[in-house]
Amino acid sequence: MENILNNLWDWAILAALLAGALYTLWIVRQESSTFIEESYLITFGRLSLPVPTWWSITKQEKGLIEFKRTDTRYDWYARFEFIHGDVNISLPDILHAKIEAEELDYDKADVVIETEARHLFKDEATQKHFVEVIRVEGKASQRIEERVYLDVYLFRNKAEGGYYMCESRSSVLNGSVEGPFFEECLSLMKLEPKN
């Protein structure tokens, strides 16, 4: 009888773990289908970004907003930053400097590079405003030992006297969880009229 009770507890624990996993999968599936309806708008400089309700602002300063998921233990964050700087330095050079400074080595077979505003932004006015863009997405090794999934957008209009750097960074395993929402957030971004 004792042996049956021991196995019953094991089965009950296994059933509870499976129920928790199924509930988590259901929640994640619901998030992807309700993102647009349930997002809220964040104004960042002249940009208006639709942000998922489950992203929490963890840092906000002039020219910088950082988000994390505080409802989970995902190894992920998103960062939106406007950096004042020399408009004569090319975006590929800025990206190269970032990659070198952070000691990143992208997986060559897995990296995606995009330089067309019309492929990155859905809003036509945004496409026309940010004619200089570059996006790099993929898995990388950082400082040789750490694996990361990194999606970096750089874009600018030279009249603004700087550039935007937006990044989504996570562990490789979590890259496909929040990455699509980050990408959708930027693709739906709109430019607010000047005051």
Question: Which two three-digit tokens encode residue 89?
Answer: 């330095």
Confidence at 92, pLDDT banded by 50, 70, 90: very high
Write out the two tokens for 51: 């942000």
Q: Which two tokens stand for residue 118?
A: 């019309």
| DSSP state at residue 161 | S
Rounded mean pLDDT of 133-137? 94
Amino acid at 50: P
Dihedral sign computed on CA atoms, order 42, 44, 49, 51: negative
Q: Measured between alpha carbons, how far is 145 from 134 in angstroms, rounded to an integer?
A: 27
Residues near 112 by beta carbon (within 8 Å), at least 6 away in sequence:
135, 136, 137, 138
Quote the pLDDT of residue 2. Answer: 62
Alpha-carbon dihedral angle through residues 175, 178, 179, 184, given to the nearest 10 degrees = 170
Strands 104-106 and 112-114: unpaired
List pLDDT tens digits, range 12-31. 777 777 776 666 555 555 55
The whole-number pLDDT of residue 191 equals 86
Residue 178 has pLDDT above 80, yes or no: yes
DSSP-assigned states of every residue in 12-76: HHHHHHHHHHHHHHHHHHHHHHHHHHH-EEEEETTEEEEE-TT-EEEEEETTEEEEE-SSS--SE
Provide the token pair at 163: 């550039």
Q: In the predicted model, what is the mean pLDDT of residues 124-140?
A: 91
pLDDT 10s digits, 54-88: 899 999 998 999 999 888 777 889 999 999 988 88
pLDDT at residue 154, as a whole number: 95
Instruction: Indicate whether 122 pLDDT > 80.
Output: yes
Residue 77 to residues 91, 101, 166, 173, 175, Cα–Cα distance (Å):
22, 19, 11, 14, 10
55, 69 Cβ separation under 8 angstroms: yes
